[in-house]
Structure 1
Amino acid sequence: MANRLTATAFAALTAFTASTALAQQAPVWTVDHDKSRVGFIAQQSGNAVPGEFERFQTTIRFDRDNLEASSVDVRIAIASVTTGSLDRDQTIKSPNLFHAQKYPNARFQADSFRHAGGNTYIAEGKLTMRGTTHPIDLPFELEVTRDGDTLTAVADGEVTVKRLRWGIGKGQWQDTSMVPNDVVIEIDIHATRPAG
């Protein structure tokens, strides 16, 4: 009996050690924020309204051959929104929409990924906006190239979310006849890491 318990404990310890080592194997990527973009496309009165957030922080650990150990964490400064219209930017930051003063950041976190074929991957994560969190699946195309001792990755993806699900739309902005519920979130991330 004691031997069986010892063997079980040893197996559990070995599994834990292996999983810890696995998590440490996912390499860290350094994001080039000058080349990267986190943006969106909304609609207003039938016209597309593109915009982006100029400030965001990212922590990326990703390995195509070790998805179990991969993770991403993106924090977006709502006050950095720009749409080409100062009045529109102020409206987006106002209490009726994102309420940037009370909820200064949006956040996307994922530690589960799946390969969808070819260069397509899906990050299964959770998105927090205006203090509300819901799960989302973010599909993206990944291209990785090598130049000497440096790997460069470009991840390009988008997902459509329902803004009212996160409470983005109070008062007149709850009406979806002028501003539809659907908003497309876009990412274009450029990152590098040492090869090998």
Structure 2
Amino acid sequence: MWHYVNAFVFKTSLFPVYGIKVALMRLFGAEIGNNVEIKPNVNIKYPWNLTIANNVWIGEEVWIDSLVMITIGSNVCLSQGALLLTGSHNYKKTTFDLIVGSIILQDGAWIGAKAIVNQGITVGSHAVLTTGSVATTDLEAYGIYQGNPAVKVREGDCIAGLAAWLPFYPSLTSTSFHLSTLPSLRERGLFYLRRLLKIFQSERSAVRVIPHRHETKDY
């Protein structure tokens, strides 16, 4: 049944309504949070092997090959044509045995257009896999990866330095603003930095300075 739903609703541009797609995926066993946008011509293998958190954007022609479990965190962006491949084959055997491995995309990860995440890979929080790159090993949090196979080319600008502050200031991320709509890590970092400065300013203004009073005594 899912084969036909996938063909007539997801792998087409005739059904642009996100709510219908999300409802159908939930009906077939997917666990999906809020504000998940699924663009046209997306191919999903088995929705019952898919968990998606909040504020996730899935671009046109993304292929989610969920032979086994794929977990997608909050504020994740899958750009146009990205591939999440949980399956491969063992070329060392004449039987060409199937090899599978789960994929985890942690919060804030960005998979660029036409990029590929292979089986068994974990993409760390706010890591970026650039356009056309191929992830064959785990990607560290806040790293920017490029190439085939993908290697780290640099850290993710100023948000890497702000990462240590986030556990102490949960209000930094308590916002309905979709970070996945920001086109670059630099803009995400500036967004966090502005919120952090506002918190510091509000805390500073809340502190009332009491001047020290010298008392005199008569002897």
TM bucket (normalised to shorter chain) is: under 0.3
TM-score, with normalisation over the residues of structure 2? 0.24
TM score, norm. by length of structure 1: 0.26
Structure number with greater Rg is 2
